[in-house]
Amino acid sequence: MHPQPCLDEAALAKLLKLGGPKFAGNMVDLFLGYAPTKLAEALAAEAKGDCAGVHDAMHPLKTSAGHVGALAVRALAMEIEQLARAGERGRLPGLLTGLEAAMGEVTPRLREWRAGKVISD
């Protein structure tokens, strides 16, 4: 488990205030659909030694995680992005494993929030 809190519900409250329930729900849905794809892209790139590919996958994941309050995911994606940009591959496998765990922790919390706080489309 990463020391960063899993979910910042204040970020979700900001989405609700900014655009209402449908907007907030759509943002969460986008993250839930998008994040696993970006993680898979980063894992595949890391397996090939492609730091640029890891960086390219982490940059948008970092941003979208911040929007929905996925704090640990955002922090790990940022760290991975910085290391990949610098070409420092040594810690990437462990950090990507940590990112998988953080996503596994935040995903059900976001789904619960989505189900409890937001009207379905």
The per-residue pLDDT for range 17-63, each reduced to its tens digit, is: 999 999 999 999 999 999 999 999 999 999 999 999 999 999 999 99
In the structure, what pLDDT confidence band is assigned to residue 117 with cuts at 50, 70 and 90? low
- List C-alpha distances in Å: 27 to 8, 12, 23, 48, 99: 14, 9, 6, 31, 20
The range of the structural domain enclosing residue 93 comes to 9-116
Amino acid, res. 14: K
What is the count of structural domains for the chain? 1
Domain annotation covers residue 1? no
Q: Tell me, what's the pLDDT at 95?
A: 98
Q: Is residue 121 part of a domain?
A: no
Task: Pull the structure tokens for residue 42.
Answer: 């980063």
pTM of model > 0.75: yes
Q: Specify the 3-state DSSP secondary structure of 8.
A: coil
Expressed in percent and rounded to 5, the helix, strand and coil fractions of the chain are 80, 0, 20
